[in-house]
Chain A
Amino acid sequence: MRRSLLLGAVAILLASPQGELEGQVGRGSTLDGLLGEPTFVFLHPSIAVLGGGTERRLAGEVGWIMGEGEGAWEHAIGFVFGTADHSAPYTWSGARLCFARRGEAIRLGSRIAARGASGEGPAGSVVLALELGVRSATLRVVPAWLRGMPIRDGGELGGVAQRPSWDNHLDAEVSVERDLARARLELRTGARFGAGATGPSQWARGAVHLPIGRGFGLVAGAGIRPNRSEEGQVGGRFLEIGGTLRLGGPRSDAEAAPRRPALRAEGLEPGTYVLIVEAPSAYLVELRGDLTDWETVALRRSGVRRNQWTVRVDRPPGVYQVTVRVDAGEWLVPRGLIPVPDRFGGTTGLLELPAAEENGNAH
């Protein structure tokens, strides 16, 4: 019954046209208005091939983000749900609380999730994740308490079900992210400690995240992964491909234009500047203008400040015209730039690259 309701809700979400859905869950929606905070919807369908067969999963979250900005604590509360089918179906739902703080070089975060479930997996779980991020590396410590769980091991034990009443374990993980052109590469390695632990006790995996449109992305991964039975994930060697859909999310400017990223220029040396775009939650940021002969150029995500995207330009001081877009959306005049008519019925932004003595005063 619960599974039917869950699948029904997901089907409604997926069947809604994107614009309509954004209207429902994004800025200005009834829910948004009621709570006064930005809402978001995240869906992640995937298929994985393991030693013991194929696993199909759909995980999702509907949540609300409160507080945002560098140096400030960001809180989020979400309703998590999902379904997976490996050797037998498993569905779960629950709540998740997140607290995060992004500094210039260091990020701190903690998440706690409590889930109830039915099917082949733990009937209940509480998972706490503590994170410390330095530049593009993240150290993660994850204690988990799982109750009443039959677990399968991905086939390495011949699919034999084990039924401990509790599985308490502690995971320690390190991950590193790196931008490769438009895609983002993530490498993750970790180990599990705990008497009741099942599945691989050490793992290493890689994943490539490729944004393909506004809010949409593809994820491909391979390696050895741990059991995450509370999310229907079977451990072992795997090869996975999946998609991501994210709608809504943090506002970059709550009052003015929430989806407009901010842009500023900083001089590196005479005739060389770095353009910095602030675009929280973006997967892809692109720029075009007379700086680039109106060719579209993808910016690189900063390894230090993850909501910043940069591109280096070699141009003499002067006033240039640019627009940017986020996640392949609409081309926009970034915040901080003066909009001017483009003589084609739209607008572009005036970007001043100051002479050396004025550096620091760029828009």
Chain B
Amino acid sequence: MRKGGWILLVLAGAVLGGPERALGQEERLRGRMAPEVVSEVTSLADSARARSLPVEPVIQKALEGASKGAGLEEIVSAVHSLIRDMGLAREALGPGLPEHALVLAAAALDQGASPEDLCEFRAHESHPSLPSALGGLIYLVGRGVPTDVSVGLTLEMLNADLPAAAFSSLQRLVEQDARQGAAPVESARVRARALIQAGGPFGLEGDIAR
């Protein structure tokens, strides 16, 4: 095929593929929510796509709202804030962030972390444990640990190159301590440092639980 032919084929694919994807999204939304909500969400999804942000989390957020009985304004507001936070998260952490890490980073912003807090993680953009670290950050902030302490502890764990499982261990250990009356902030400090010293959660949970 001549060079011009390839270009035409690629252009045709781009033109046809875009509306097809949009139609697929509309199809998933239709029947689950009112037509005006579908229209608004589709428009927001298109705006996310135009900014090279993932569209699937946008569709999922709308479906979540519909399943929870949210109205038009609530769904649009939730989707809008998600797109905003995903945009901020990508600026803070870099363009190469996987989709699920981007969604977690957006959730961290919604939980109370700031874009500046997320910037601290930029050096670990390609670290395999980054999504779990962001999950750990969300957990600690949600548990009432001050954001600067939460960021500091999760960064220390990432710097120590701990595996993803270490962050779920941290959560379990802090919960265990909280049931015995320990303050989450103190528990998080002690447990995170113990995990770092041990190089991971392997065999540690049982030992320090006693």
Contacts and interface: CB of A to CB of B under 8 A. Distances in A.
Contact of B110 (A294, A341, A358): A341
Interface of B: 28, 57, 60-61, 63-68, 70, 74, 77-78, 81-82, 98-101, 103-104, 107, 110-111, 131-132, 135-136, 138-139, 142, 163-165, 168, 171-172, 175, 179
Contacts of A20: none
A338 B82 contact: no
Contacts of A344: 64-65, 68, 70, 74, 78
Contact of A352 (B98, B164, B179): B164
Interface of A: 255-256, 288, 290, 293-296, 318-319, 321, 336, 338-344, 346, 348, 350, 352, 354, 358, 361, 363
A294 B138 contact: no
Contacts of A343: 61, 77-78, 81-82, 110
A295 B68 contact: no
Nearest to A339: B142
B68 to A, nearest CB: 5
Contacts of A340: 107, 110-111, 138, 142
B68 A293 contact: no
B177 to A, nearest CB: 12
23 contacts: A256-B175, A290-B57, A290-B60, A290-B64, A293-B28, A294-B64, A318-B131, A319-B104, A321-B60, A338-B138, A338-B142, A340-B111, A340-B142, A341-B107, A343-B77, A343-B110, A344-B64, A346-B68, A350-B107, A350-B135, A352-B132, A361-B164, A361-B165
A363 to B, nearest CB: 5
B203 to A, nearest CB: 14
Contacts of B82: 343
Contacts of B136: 338
Contacts of B78: 342-344
Contacts of A363: 168, 171
A51 to B, nearest CB: 49
A321 B107 CA distance: 11
Contacts of A336: 172
